[in-house]
Each structure stands twice: as C-alpha cells, then as structure tokens.
Amino acid sequence: MMEPAENRDLYHPTSRRRRVFSGLRYALPARVETLLRERRGLPATVLMRSGAFCMEFGGSCVVHGDGFLHNHFMSEVEISALTADVDKETKEGEMTTKQVFVVCLSTVVLFWAGTALALDPEPKCESAKNKIAGKLALCLQKAEAKLVKTRGACLGGGEECHRDDDCAGTCVKDTEKYDSAIVKCNDKFSEKWVSEETKATEASATCPDEPLDPNSLAEYVTECSDCVTSLLAGEATLCSCSSGSCADEGGVEVGGKCWFLGATSDGCDTTCEDAGLVYDEATRTYAGSDGTWAQCQAVMDALDKTSPEYDDFGDNGCSDGFGCFLEPNVKTRARCTSPPTDATTSAGNARRACACQ
C-alpha cells in the first residue's frame, strides 16, 4: 500500500520555469522501486493529479509522452487516456510493476509518433500506386496459375490434358472463370487507382506519375505478366514488355497478340527484333502449325493481305517451319502444318506472319 505525502512544487530545470502541481505524492512499493532502478534507471516517484501520471527524471517532472526525452508537458486529455488504469490502481492503494512499464513504453511510442515527419501527398500517392501495380501483377499471375491447373481436352482427340505437350496439338480449356478473374483484376486496379488520384486532389496535390494513362500502365503490367507466363510454360526466349500498344509498334492485334508481316528472307526472330520486340510462340500456336487455317486467314486479313487479291492455298506440308505465310510473287496465302513452326525459318520467296511481344 502506498502512503500519501505532502503537496510538492516541482522545478523544471531545462526551461527554467516552475511548475506547481497540487496533488498527492506517493512512494512506490519497495519491489517496484528496486525493479525500476535496476532495469530502467528511473527514479521511483509518482505524482497523481486529476488523473495525470507524472514521473521525475533528474529533477524534472515529465507529464505524458510528448516530452519524454525533452521535458515537455502535454494536455490532461491525452494524459487521462493513457493513465486511466494507473490512476484506478493508485487510488486503490498500489501500482503494479506491469502498469508502470506500460505507461513508460506508451510515453516513448507516443513521443516518436508525434515527432515523426508527416508524409507529403505526392510520395504517399506514389507509394500507394506502386502497391496497386504490384497487386495487379499478383492478381493476374494467380489467374494464370489456376488456368494451368484447369483440365482441358486435346483438340481433335478429346483426351484430358493440362498443357499442349499432353496432346499431339492443342489443349483446349474452358476459360470462362479465367476471363472473369482477369476482368476483376483490372476492375480492382482501376478502382484503387482512381481512389488514390482523388485523395491527392483533395489534398491539393498531384500524383508524380501524371499524366500517365492508367490503362496504358495496366496493359504494360499485363504484357509483362504474359511474358512471365510464357517463360514458366517453357518458352526459352526471354520476352520483352512493350510500353506501347501493338499499333504503336507498327503491328496489328489478332487473338490478343501483336502480328507483323516479315520481309522476304527474314525469319520471325529478325522481324520481331526489327520492331524492338521478341518472338512470340503464338506464331506457332495460333496461326502456325499448332493453330488453324481460319486463324492464319484472320491474321493475314488484319495485315491487309486479303482474298481475292491473294489466292488461298490452305494447309500444306512444307520443307521448313514457315507457319502462316504468303508468297508475294504468285499472290498466294498458305499455312505449313508440318514441320512445326519455328522462329528462324526464312526464304527469298516467303513473307511470314509473325507474332511478337
């Protein structure tokens, strides 16, 4: 049980000002006093006034946290919130060691929180948008991961499969859930992006990325996600994320891929390199040997090599892996179903349809 002592004037040596507290001064129990001195080097004196908790430090009475290290004083409103339990226990006649340490720890935490540098709206927005872009990438890869585990059926055969390697041709899957997941990823991205823009505007600030189009950034993140997906599926060539649209690069978009018509004597690897991109396996899987003649026609039409200007020679076996191509000299469009379409095949009389990324 703590015994009350006389009222006391406390002198503040740092500010050279006198602070008078009308209250009761208590001596802590010996066990608490010993523990405080041994572990914290703190004086074992407590002053209670109107619910306020005060401790002496080298002759100074420091009230609450905003002055724990600098001998400042805080308002009683803040003090009372911190010291309710201590006040209650003291009135009952004893303060526990745990309560003393809780008050001391809270004081230090509140001091540092109060003096920390506030983050300006611009870096705050930049930081938030970094997280938003990262969450979009994570969301897209999660959708890809689920698609990989989805069972499909081999095109033409009907056998169950997970990958094209499980079939002689293409493993066809129901992508309804996958497509829905991708839409949700992009919707969430847009929602969060607008939210951060609004916060910056309300703070009379501008996010550092402006005038960046969020749709362009989402497309860039998606392209990079596609690159990662291709690499994890076994694509040997390290893909490149393009920051512009397919049209900006001089290509046409078909089947979600960017297509170019190569020059005669150029393989698709060279065609893509000339565009600042890299070869995309969709050259084989969409319009080439593992794709369909209808898809080859769609790509050629988009490249403005249409029928009846060009005769359709259709599917054929070839000497090399040209895939979907045309012969400009005889005005013919064709698709080589075998051997498998590759990146490097070229000929002086052929212009290949090449998917690049």
Q: For the residues of 95-118, what is the DSSP string, one character each? A: --HHHHHHHHHHHHHHHHHHHSPP
pTM of this prediction? Answer: 0.44
pLDDT at position 115: 45
Structure tokens at 175: 């992508």
What residue segments make up the domains of the chain, in order of their start? 8-115, 121-232, 252-356
- Output the CA torsion sign for 23, 24, 29, 30: positive
Please count the other Cβ atoms lying within 10 Å of the Cβ belonging to residue 297. 20
DSSP-assigned beta bridge partners for residue 314: 334
Residues 6+ apart with CB under 8 A from 234: 165
Q: What sign results for the dihedral spanned by CA atoms 250, 269, 332, 284?
A: negative
State residue 88's pLDDT score: 52
**How far apart are alpha carbons 207 and 255 in whole angstroms?**
35
The confidence score (pLDDT) of residue 276 equals: 84
pLDDT tens digit at each of 357 positions of the chain: 333 433 333 333 333 333 333 333 334 445 444 544 444 444 433 333 333 344 443 433 443 333 333 333 344 554 455 445 444 544 554 445 445 444 444 444 444 444 446 789 999 999 999 999 999 999 999 999 999 999 999 988 778 999 888 888 789 999 999 999 999 999 999 999 999 999 999 999 999 887 778 888 898 898 889 888 888 888 766 666 655 678 777 899 999 899 999 999 999 999 999 988 889 999 999 999 999 999 999 999 999 999 889 999 999 999 999 999 999 999 999 999 999 999 999 999 999 999 998
Task: Tell me if residue 240 falls in helix, strand or coil.
Answer: coil
Of the candidates 71, 77, 169, the one whose C-alpha atom is nearest the C-alpha of residue 111 is 71
DSSP 67: G
pLDDT at 231: 85
Q: What is the length of the chain?
A: 357
Q: Identify whether the C-beta of residue 129 lies closer than 8 Å to the C-beta of residue 214.
A: no
- Look-up of token digits 């523990």: 35
Rg (alpha carbons) of the chain, rounded to whole number: 36
- Does residue 339 have a cis bond before it (omega within 30 degrees)? yes
How far does CA 146 lie from the centroid of its chain?
A: 19
CA distance 73 to 108: 14
- Sorted by sequence, the CB contacts under 8 Å of residue 225 that are 6+ apart come out as 137, 140, 141, 144
Task: Enter the tokens of residue 181.
Answer: 């997941």
